[in-house]
Structures are given as structure tokens and as C-alpha cells.
């Protein structure tokens, strides 16, 4: 039987537990005396007598009054701070504030208070009902940030189909453009689009009710969905997309090392990642999101025939170079539009140029002073600059020899041959003696070795087929030499010779 201890700082008050009292009763039943039971239980005979009398009378054992803790005076302060930070604040950060409010106890005791208050706060917060989603009803959207990248995430509540893209900022035009791309990917429009109270979509708040921004209202009306907003400071109401934001950061941005400087590659990686995760069984619904979307798509609203105009549109006149200026850069358009006005729409690092509702050009944004030119806007690649234009009869006869003659003239001019015009007739006259093909080959060799005189061409013709021909470098010659015995240098010492 265990030896019990008694708190002698409060004489006359019961401090024994129910188990200790039962041990006393059992010890008395075994030895039959107060002092014997007290010796066995490590207490005094008076305590044994009081316990036995109370047990015989069937009286409940009185409870000790709760002792006041030294942190009770600052409990309200801790409760308010825990509630305002949604249980995130730590005891270490809260302790200075408690000290200022009069707390004089230890840090260890204060940690007990903070832990108790957090448990109570969480107990009160976990009374939420789970959401019940219907097919084609809700799309949830949100933004996140990681390593300078702004992450736009959307998830269809019923099918759990996920959509992730990256942007350089979280403006209204960017948000609406990515939402439109998400709806295109889904192949339809849900009834409700749920978001938090993001500033780019919020026009104001009246009596706790969010008023959508006018541009968002026009966008929602065009697509036919109802914009909805979460309650303030209530991320649990859209926890589905909150988890997607964290998942995209930990599984896409960080492992692949995506950076904000290359949004095109980042969005290409995001599209591949979404295609991968949407074809894997989702643990919550035990189904493949891509397959569930096929079931949900007939219940979505049809996409509108015309796509909305998102963002600020700039009107420019096409100049005589068949270009428009935007941000101090030049961008080409088809030359049939010279003199007409076109609309410019910039977003996601690209500039779209529209003639009416038709996109006539799509350029990447360039730095100020640079130009983005598409050859097809001018009927093909740029023609060769400064073509050879023969004037005299000798020049026309020489240029009639073909491209090698033009290359000979340009090479000689670049080398500074000032008497080239007198050499041309002499070179042309060599055709009658050697034939056209041989002369063309000699001119080609002269161009290769940069020999620009008629005498040089005659020397090449005189050498004929015996002149060495240039060929491309071949593979290295590797010859396996036989192994021979070798001797150490010590064998050649002077003392050992002879």
C-alpha cells in the first residue's frame, strides 16, 4: 500500500484524494485501529478518524476552494489578444504586455495561462458546419504571394478542379483576365464566384455588406454569374482555395524555382502542373477532378459568344512605318492598316492590337526605345540591303554570271579595290576561253581567298584542277601504337654504365 502525504499547511482541511481516502478505509478494515491505519497510510490517527466517520455517515467529501492564480488579473488581457490574433500570438510576445498590466509571476506560469486561453478559443471556434456543394454552383478564387510571384488560384467547389496562374501584380484587370481564362478552362460559368474582400474587386462596404466594383459587376453580368464575398477575417469560409494556394507554393513555386522575371515560363509550368494534379485522385472526394469536371460541365452556364474587354484600352494611329507606339516602344501591325486607328490592350507581359474585334497583332512588351517587328506584317522577311544595280554594259555582263558575281563585287568594294570597273570586262572575256562553269568556279575560289584582281582569276584558271580544295575538318586520326618495354632513369646513371 502506498505511503500518503498530508498537507500540514492547512490543518483541519481535507487534502486527500478519493483514492487516498479509500486506502485509509481499507487499512482500517485490515488492522482495526486508528493509529495502525495511520501508520500504514503515513498520516495521523485524527485524519483516519474523520475519514471513517464521514464514510460511515455517507457524507460527500468537501472540496477545497480553488486557489487564486497569480495570473488571474491579466486573464482578460490575454483572452482579448488571443481572440484578436485568432490564436496565433505566442506567450513570449504577449508577456511584456502582461508585465505592463501588472503580472509579476513566472514566464512558465504565464505560458500555462496562454495555452489555456488558446484551448478555450479553439473550442469556441470549431462549431462550424461543413459546406455542402452542388455541381455547377460555386467557384472559389484567391491570391497568394511567393518569391515575388503573385499566385492566382481558383478551385471548383464540387469537382475540386484546380486552376493556378502567375502574374506580376494583383490589379483588377489582371484578376478579371485570369478569371476569364479560368472560365475558359472550365468550359462554362458557375452560378457563384466566391472570393475574399480583395481590394481590386471591392467597391466599398456598407453595414458589413460588400459592394462589388463597377467593372466587376459588368464582368459578372457579361458572364452571367453572381459575385459573392466572404465575411471579414474569416479565411475558413474559403479554406478550400487557401489550401490550394499553399499547395501551389510548396509543390510548384519552390521545387521548380520559378521567378517573377519569367512569367511566360512560370505560367507554362503552372498549366502543366494543373494538368497533372487534376488527373490524380483527390483524397477528399476519392475521385479524379478532371473526370468530375466532365460530369459537372453540362450543368455550367454557357460561355458568352463575345469575350469582354478587360483593362484600359489605348487608341493609337498606325504610322507610315506600319507601327504603333506604346510605352516608348514600337510594335508592328499589318501594313494594310497604315493610317487607321487601332486599339491596344496590354496585360501579362504582352500587347494585343485590335482592329475592331479582331486581334491583328500580339507582341511581347519591349523596353522603351526598342521595337517588336513581325515579318509577316510586311509581306515577308526584309529584302537584302543595297542590292547590286549594274549601270554599264560591262557591269551588266558581269552580273549576268549570277550570285557569285555579286559576291565578288561586294567583296572587292569592301576591300577597297578602286579599279574594279576596269577589271570586270577582262574577267568576262575569260568565259569564252575557259567556259562558264569553270569561270564561275574560279570566281567562287577568288571570293573564298579574297583575291579581287583579274590577274588573280587568271592564275586560278591556270592552276586548273591541280589547285588544292578546301574541305571541312575531319575526325582526329587515332593510331594504336604497339607497347614497347621501358627502362627507369636509374639505369642511366654514370656509375652503372660500362
Q: Specify the pLDDT at position 12.
A: 47
Half-sphere exposure of 171 (CA within 13 A, CB side): 10
**CA of 424: how far to CAs of 394, 406, 408, 432, 436, in Å?**
6, 12, 10, 14, 15
Q: Are 371 and 330 in contact (CB under 8 A)?
A: yes
Residues 6+ apart with CB under 8 A from 231: 237
Q: Specify the pLDDT at position 465.
A: 67
Cell numbers 495511520 label which residue? Answer: 38
Comparing C-alpha atoms, which of 464, 425, 424, 412 is closest to residue 441?
Answer: 464
User: Is residue 95 helix, strand or coil?
Assistant: helix
Half-sphere exposure of 275 (CA within 13 A, CB side): 6
- CATH 3.40.50.300 assigned to domain 138-299? The reply is no
Cell numbers 512569367 label which residue? Answer: 263
Other Cβ atoms within 10 Å of 456 Cβ, number: 17
Q: Where are the domains of the chain?
A: 72-125, 138-299, 314-378, 393-465
Task: Indicate the angle between helix axes 172-186 and 214-223, nearest 10 degrees.
Answer: 10
Residues of the chain with pLDDT under 70: 1-15, 62-65, 126-127, 311, 348, 383-386, 465-466, 495-498
User: Which alpha helices (DSSP H) does 416-474 contain, by range?
Assistant: 420-434, 436-449, 454-463
Q: Specify the pLDDT at position 7.
A: 38
Comparing C-alpha atoms, which of 380, 344, 381 is closest to residue 365?
Answer: 344
| β-bridge partners, 145 | 150
Burial per residue of 76-115, b for 16 or more beta-carbon CB atoms within 10 angstroms, e otherwise? ebbbebbeeeeeebebeebbeebeeeebebeeeebeebbe
Tell me 392's DSSP state.
Answer: S
Q: Specify the pLDDT at position 164.
A: 95
Q: Specify the pLDDT at position 293.
A: 94
Amino acid at each position: 500500500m502506498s505511503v500518503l502525504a498530508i498537507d500540514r499547511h492547512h490543518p483541519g482541511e481535507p487534502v486527500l484524494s478519493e483514492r487516498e481516502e479509500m486506502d485509509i478505509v481499507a487499512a482500517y478494515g485490515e488492522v482495526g485501529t486508528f493509529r495502525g491505519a495511520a501508520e500504514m497510510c503515513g498520516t495521523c490517527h485524527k485524519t483516519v478518524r474523520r475519514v471513517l466517520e464521514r464514510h460511515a455517515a455517507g457524507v460527500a467529501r468537501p472540496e477545497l476552494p480553488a486557489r487564486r492564480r497569480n495570473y488571474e488579473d491579466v486573464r482578460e488581457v490575454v483572452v482579448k489578444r488571443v481572440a484578436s490574433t485568432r490564436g496565433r500570438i505566442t506567450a513570449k510576445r504577449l508577456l511584456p504586455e502582461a508585465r505592463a498590466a501588472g503580472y509579476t509571476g513566472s514566464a512558465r506560469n504565464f505560458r500555462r495561462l496562454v495555452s489555456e486561453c488558446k484551448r478555450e478559443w479553439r473550442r469556441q471556434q470549431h462549431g462550424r458546419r461543413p459546406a455542402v456543394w452542388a455541381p455547377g454552383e460555386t467557384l472559389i478564387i484567391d491570391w497568394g504571394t511567393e518569391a515575388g510571384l503573385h499566385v492566382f488560384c481558383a478551385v471548383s467547389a464540387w469537382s475540386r478542379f484546380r486552376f493556378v496562374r502567375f502574374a506580376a501584380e494583383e490589379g483588377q484587370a489582371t484578376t478579371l483576365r485570369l478569371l476569364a481564362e479560368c472560365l475558359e478552362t472550365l468550359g462554362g460559368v458557375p452560378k457563384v464566384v466566391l472570393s475574399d474582400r480583395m481590394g481590386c474587386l471591392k467597391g466599398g462596404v456598407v453595414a458589413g455588406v460588400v459592394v462589388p466594383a463597377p467593372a466587376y459587376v459588368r464582368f459578372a453580368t457579361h458572364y452571367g454569374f453572381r459575385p459573392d464575398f466572404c465575411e471579414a477575417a474569416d479565411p475558413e469560409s474559403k479554406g478550400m482555395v487557401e489550401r490550394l494556394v499553399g499547395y501551389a507554393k510548396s509543390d510548384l513555386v519552390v521545387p521548380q524555382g520559378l521567378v517573377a522575371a519569367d512569367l511566360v515560363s512560370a505560367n507554362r509550368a503552372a498549366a502543366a502542373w494543373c494538368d497533372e494534379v487534376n488527373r490524380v485522385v483527390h483524397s477528399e472526394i476519392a475521385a479524379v477532378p478532371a473526370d468530375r469536371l466532365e460530369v459537372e460541365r453540362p450543368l455550367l452556364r454557357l460561355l458568352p459568344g463575345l469575350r469582354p474587354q478587360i483593362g484600359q484600352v489605348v487608341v493609337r494611329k498606325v504610322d507610315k512605318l506600319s507601327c504603333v507606339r506604346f510605352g516608348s516602344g514600337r510594335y508592328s501591325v499589318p501594313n494594310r492598316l497604315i493610317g487607321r486607328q487601332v486599339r491596344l490592350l496590354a496585360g501579362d507581359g504582352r500587347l494585343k492590337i485590335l482592329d475592331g474585334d479582331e486581334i491583328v497583332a500580339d507582341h511581347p512588351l519591349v523596353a522603351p526605345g526598342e521595337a517588336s517587328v513581325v515579318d509577316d506584317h510586311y509581306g515577308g522577311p526584309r529584302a537584302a540591303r543595297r542590292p547590286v544595280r549594274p549601270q554599264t554594259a560591262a557591269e551588266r555582263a558581269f552580273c549576268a554570271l549570277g550570285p557569285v558575281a555579286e559576291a565578288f563585287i561586294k567583296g572587292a568594294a569592301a576591300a577597297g579595290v578602286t579599279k574594279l570597273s576596269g577589271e570586270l570586262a577582262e574577267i568576262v572575256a575569260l568565259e569564252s576561253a575557259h567556259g562558264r562553269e569553270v569561270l564561275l568556279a574560279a570566281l567562287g575560289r577568288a571570293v573564298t581567298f579574297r583575291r579581287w584582281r583579274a590577274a588573280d582569276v587568271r592564275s586560278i584558271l591556270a592552276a586548273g584542277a591541280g589547285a588544292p580544295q578546301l574541305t571541312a575538318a575531319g575526325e582526329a586520326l587515332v593510331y594504336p601504337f604497339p607497347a614497347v618495354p621501358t627502362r627507369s632513369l636509374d639505369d642511366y646513371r654514370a656509375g652503372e654504365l660500362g
